[in-house]
Amino acid sequence: MTLDYDLVVIGGTRPGIEAAIAAAKLQARVALVQPPQQAINAPPFSEGTGPIQTAELFDSPSILWGAPFPKDLPELARALEQSTQALASLGEERSPAVLASLGIDVIAEAGEFIPLPQLALDIKTRRLISRHYLLAPSFRSAIPDIPGLATTGYLTRETFHHFTEGTLPNSIAIIGSDPNGIELAQILVRLGIAVSLITSAPQILPKEDPEAAQLIQAQLEADGILVLTDTPVMAVESRQGEKIVQTENRAIACDEIFIACGFQSNIDGLNLDTVGVQFYRTPLGQRVQLNRKLQTTNPRIYGCGNLAGGYPLVNVARHEAQIAVKNALFFPRHRVKYWGIPWAFQTYPEIARVGLTEPQAKRRYDDVVVLMQYFKGIAGGRLQQETTGFCKVLVRKNGEILGAHILGPGASELIHSFALGMQNNLKVEAIATLPHIWPSLSEINQQTAQLWQEGRFTDNTFWQNLLDVWFNWRR
């Protein structure tokens, strides 16, 4: 069998591009194929950027990409434009010309897999025959099957940028409670828009720690957002110039609807089912079956990113791409490990997590110790007037870190200490004994970890009696 490439990467996303670069640096022959439609949802003010740079803007589910919450519509438009331009400029480092200089064949065409006479990716001008293929597609908002939704009309993360081009609505209903929906709710309520957040889940952010989700919900309600949990949407319709969201118990009138029900990968048209790639169904569409080596059911085709569901996070997709490249180019012996990979969302307060939630930890272990410290108890929080939130760490009695959850200022930066500890099998004592800078926000990590030391001392009656004898003798 004559091979054109060692690896063909399908998808011009950041993880896909980095996978292609990593493979090329290992002297592999690499092609990067990006379907032109991958960038069709780019904001209007990003015109002039190339397709690969533009696609990068949608690698993250965030709307503002970490920019401060705006106070009015012009400030929102500026924040969106600045974020877009900044991310587009980052894409210049991975332009087609730069990639070509690394020996990567960049092909901006759509293609589909064909099984015969041999597995190949068929594009307009040629067939790409490779030993292995890596799916690294972009993603789009998943649209729930709600009667009347398509005819009534709605906004998604991809079309939200058009929101700033006209008059703001007086009210909006957000269906779903994914992080981008919560971020949008907090943006819009600050612009004076009446916001309703409707989810069928028992809590917002259903994958996150219940205590963290409850605090976020309390903040949403304090902001004036109507939060309805355990509330499935039965139908949507237009009536007398308004959009009506019908639930089991009430009808909610609004001017606009935003869908925040998760994401699905852009893999339509790749003809994957004809080459042995199997899927499984979910309420929001099909997902690709991947094993721990990130192989699909066709062992020559690998995948990374949002293919199998979950949050579409760049750092997770990067990790998956690294594993997939190693397995595709060498022997498939590396397995993906999500233990110790942190993630964060741009809510207010910011939320970050690594490892297990408290319910997950208690289901697996019978010696879980919960450590909790609040930002109002540290000097950095008081001085910066950022006292909302907490640091919660789940450990076993021997000090093994099972998970950490930070809700508050700088959470996406602070979480890395615990992630590093988990990845390197460090005990929580390592963080407790590290002198943190005072008065920084990072001090909350040390103070939370020190609670484990205090608890261990309190439970150790032998050591307490020994100390009592020692000091009585010295006196």
Which of 453-462's residues contact partners 24+ apart within 8 Å by CB, and which partners?
Answer: 453/429, 455/369, 455/371, 456/397
**Is 401 annotated as ligand-binding?**
no
Residue 157 in contact with residue 61, Cβ under 8 Å?
yes
The structure tokens 């569409």 sit at 285
Q: Classify residue 380 as left (phi > 0), alpha (psi -120 to 50) or beta.
A: alpha
The structure tokens 């904001």 sit at 43
Determine phi and psi for 288, rounding to 5 degrees. -80, 135
Which residues are paired to 238 by β-bridges? 243
**Is 176 annotated as ligand-binding?**
yes
Please compute Rg for the chain using Cα positions: 25
Report d(CA 131, CA 140) in Å as an integer: 29
**Is 178 annotated as ligand-binding?**
yes
Task: List, as one string, the DSSP characters of 37-57.
Answer: GGGTT--GGGTTS-HHHHHHT
**Is 180 annotated as ligand-binding?**
yes
**Is 223 annotated as ligand-binding?**
no
Structure token pair of residue 180: 């981008």
**Is 181 annotated as ligand-binding?**
yes
**Is 103 annotated as ligand-binding?**
no
Q: Classify residue 294 as left (phi > 0), alpha (psi -120 to 50) or beta.
A: left
Which residues are paired to 369 by β-bridges? 395
Helices (H) and strands (E) counted in the chain, each on its own, are 15, 24
* Amino acid making up residue 444: I
**Is 262 annotated as ligand-binding?**
yes
Interstrand relation of 351-355 and 343-345 (parallel, antiparallel or unpaired):
antiparallel
Q: Dump strand ranges (E) for 57-129.
A: 104-107, 111-114, 120-123, 127-128
**Is 273 annotated as ligand-binding?**
no
**Is 255 annotated as ligand-binding?**
no
Report d(CA 308, CA 8) in Å as an integer: 20
Interstrand relation of 226-228 and 233-239 (parallel, antiparallel or unpaired):
unpaired
* Amino acid making up residue 254: C
Interstrand relation of 120-123 and 111-114 (parallel, antiparallel or unpaired):
antiparallel
Residue 199 in contact with residue 223, Cβ under 8 Å?
no
Cis peptide before 117 (omega within 30 of 0): yes
Report d(CA 356, CA 448) in Å as an integer: 17
Report d(CA 41, CA 58) in Å as an integer: 8
Longest dimension (CA), the chain: 91
- Annotated binding residues for NAD(+), written as ranges, equal 176-183, 262
- Annotated binding residues, written as ranges, equal 111, 176-183, 262
- Annotated binding residues for FAD, written as ranges, equal 111
